[in-house]
Structure 1
């Protein structure tokens, strides 16, 4: 029995498989293969395979961090809840500011990406109108029930996986290169023509960029209030998405390296994946795969909108904004059980950002992943020391080695970004500025108003068995 003062609730009705499907959609293997991997091939040639394998190794550590924090705090809101419950409200609002800006930025970037891939098939497609239409449709779909969205994204995900598998198969069926030789002795295009051994600096840059190809598995924590048995299931959802992402990204890239007729031309090309597909399968096959990629990016937009709506809803539920705005944004649809108003607000912000220059959007989003990894790693270290994560059903082994490795990696990534004066350095400054605005907002507005109140949703079980470990789960 509830009364009028009870906060609106999300419906805990999604299975672990449903959570895995939506989160894998957010990771999006097609984005890894067709958008991130071409950059890696240009940067490092055949080292792209090793770079992705190294990203998987780092991902195993980051996944463990998300699993422990997500199990300790299975609430809507994602990173900002994990950070806030361990590092305090100032850090909570700093993280919130970053997420509330970067989610609609990702929505706008993805929508413009859909337009780019559709233009390969239909040159008359106009980027801005196409992007606006995609965001409107995605936002409406994301306002439906979480179970319905799991089915929708699952269907689109099957199309996406078919596209990446077909790309890899083209290379395997038309082999030209020895895979193991390419991995053991990585080469790339030389400025003098032909091939050269991939330089160490190029390997370092590719290693940092490869992290973006596999990012997204941590998004599972955002659905902590909607997955049945979230405390116990989040660990295998997160690791499952990481390994499925790796299994659908790395083998197709191996196929590309095996089947490329000219590795120097592949590495030197401005569009290496498209050139490879046209050479191996013809223009018609390239058109079909481009359509599949457009569907995949659209599918990823659904996951982004789902996550963004829940982040904004969770913040409004805790009175993060003006009272009248909190009441509107924390509404849950009585039939769908979705935070529909917050989802529409995220979609509206994405629409506006479609008119911002693409270079600015890329600059803002560039350092977000690294900053997010660093904050959650620090959160786990502090949470273990203070006992804040005591209710977690997952205990990351060999603590604190994992979080320390992640923090050191993040510092290296930021140092690498700062060396890039065109996009990297402005991106780092922009992210730091956003985090500072969020922290100041809490100190100057929220704290003085004394309206904000941390909210812990009702849970299925208050008594948690002894923490699980990687060994006990076979991970």
Structure 2
């Protein structure tokens, strides 16, 4: 039974932006970038946006050719072969379910600051399970819910921007030509470049539009548009408030963004913004739950599990037209992961995105050469600039992780281990029965 095409491009865009959750990126990821690069974080986010453009072009062209709910693994499988496709499936499936738990744990952190005594993992697990229940409903209902939450999230970013621009303490030109660290020392290009590796992750998520390709009308045309618009809106909604804060913040150390809001807006504004961030994280959990459910659904449709599990997980709700069993399975697993130490979750998920990005860059080149992407309605400009430049940037990110013995290098080891296990499973158990099935894509 097929998923119901209940989304127009705008509804898909709302869900994708909710999964990216710009407010969470501004308050959770940006402080780390600023601590590393000081006011040079402006350039880090600009350079990350350039990399984002390259990857958005790659995603748009591939998604236009294969607007399938399996996302990256179906694209890689159809352009590079079944083994790379299955390896991508294992990597994406593990990391997406863990990322859902990582994001949910942020709810406990922010609500815990407002209501001391809350048990973070329990709050996170409850958030996942509530989102699971909502995700079973009609996809149009979820688009409306995420759209409302997204409006609140954007309002919080507008407040941050206003506070920054109303209290400017350093000229914009200083951000361009004289970036400084928290201690007042000059920031080198190397520091900016290293921080760019983190900023790239801050924009991530625009490519997730492909997961809703089978539920969006005219997907070959509209999914590419959603991806490109999602990147544009994400860059604007993150770069503008971050720049405003850099122009106004007097202390570039610690939890820069929240401390800046407290200093410029007072306790009441800080409380309201914190609630807005918590709501943004809840919204992100719901949106990512929708993605995970469709990934599990697609994996079952492609006969990844046992016969009985495949039948159940690929079932579609008769009323809502959603993958309801896959949604429940994803929710239960991710809720359990909320009680796993956060550091472990971060190490497992840390570099998987880089590997997937690289595989997609190779896939778009292969697709052009073997003609497997010729059916797409979108062709990126200035080909092959985007995939080649993307691979170069991703190579640097891998290097930055490899020289980091605390987090980056262990994460690379775990990613390599997952890929090795996936290859072994494919060779011994999966190869004969697994296939990326023929699905109607229009």
Bin of the TM-score, shorter chain as denominator length: over 0.9
Task: Give yes or no for contact 2:126–2:335 (8 Å, CA) kept in 1.
Answer: no
Give the alignment's TM-score, normalised by structure 1: 0.91
Q: What aligned pairs does 1:300-449 form with structure 2 within 5 A after superposition?
A: 300-447=284-431
Give the alignment's TM-score, normalised by structure 2: 0.98
Pairwise CA distance, 1:199? 2.2
Q: Who is 1:208 aligned against?
A: 197
Give CA deviations for 1:179-221 in whole Å, capped at 9, x if unaligned.
222222111123xxxx011123211211111101100000001
Task: Provide the secondary structure at the position in 1 that maps to 2:185.
Answer: strand
Tell me the distance in 2 between the aligned counterparts of 1:204 and 1:434. 28
From 218, 233, 255, the counterpart of 1:229: 218
Task: Give yes or no for contact 2:77–2:436 (8 Å, CA) kept in 1.
Answer: no
Q: Are 1:95 and 2:88 an aligned pair?
A: yes
Q: Who is 1:291 aligned against?
A: 275
Query: Unaligned 5+ residue runs, structure 1?
Result: 1-7, 461-475
Q: What aligned pairs does 1:14-413 form with structure 2 within 5 A after superposition?
A: 14-190=7-183, 195-260=184-249, 262=250, 266-267=251-252, 269-413=253-397
Tell me the distance in 2 between the aligned counterparts of 1:61 and 1:319. 33
Pairwise CA distance, 1:252? 0.6
Q: After the TM superposition, which of the residue ranges 420-429 and 434-443 deviates more from structure 2? A: 434-443
Give CA deviations for 1:96-140 in whole Å, capped at 9, x if unaligned.
001111111111111110110111211122102111110110111
Tell me the distance in 2 between the aligned counterparts of 1:439 and 1:224. 27
Pairwise CA distance, 1:166? 0.5
Pairwise CA distance, 1:394? 0.7
CA RMSD of aligned residues (A): 1.1
From 434, 438, 441, the counterpart of 1:452: 434
Tell me the distance in 1 between the aligned counterparts of 2:366 and 2:424. 22
Task: Provide the secondary structure at the position in 1 that maps to 2:79.
Answer: helix
Query: Unaligned 5+ residue runs, structure 2?
Result: none
Pairwise CA distance, 1:296? 0.2
Tell me the distance in 2 between the aligned counterparts of 1:226 and 1:419. 42
Tell me the distance in 1 between the aligned counterparts of 2:216 and 2:15. 11
Task: Give yes or no for contact 1:89–1:442 (8 Å, CA) kept in 2.
Answer: no
Tell me the distance in 2 between the aligned counterparts of 1:368 and 1:160. 27
Task: Give yes or no for contact 2:74–2:436 (8 Å, CA) kept in 1.
Answer: no
Task: Give yes or no for contact 1:214–1:245 (8 Å, CA) kept in 2.
Answer: yes
Tell me the distance in 2 between the aligned counterparts of 1:184 and 1:334. 59
Pairwise CA distance, 1:31? 1.8
Pairwise CA distance, 1:397? 2.3
Q: Which runs of 4+ in 1 moved over 4 A?
A: none
Task: Provide the secondary structure at the position in 2 that maps to 1:48.
Answer: helix
Change (3 A) 1:81 1:459: closer
Tell me the distance in 2 between the aligned counterparts of 1:184 and 1:250. 17
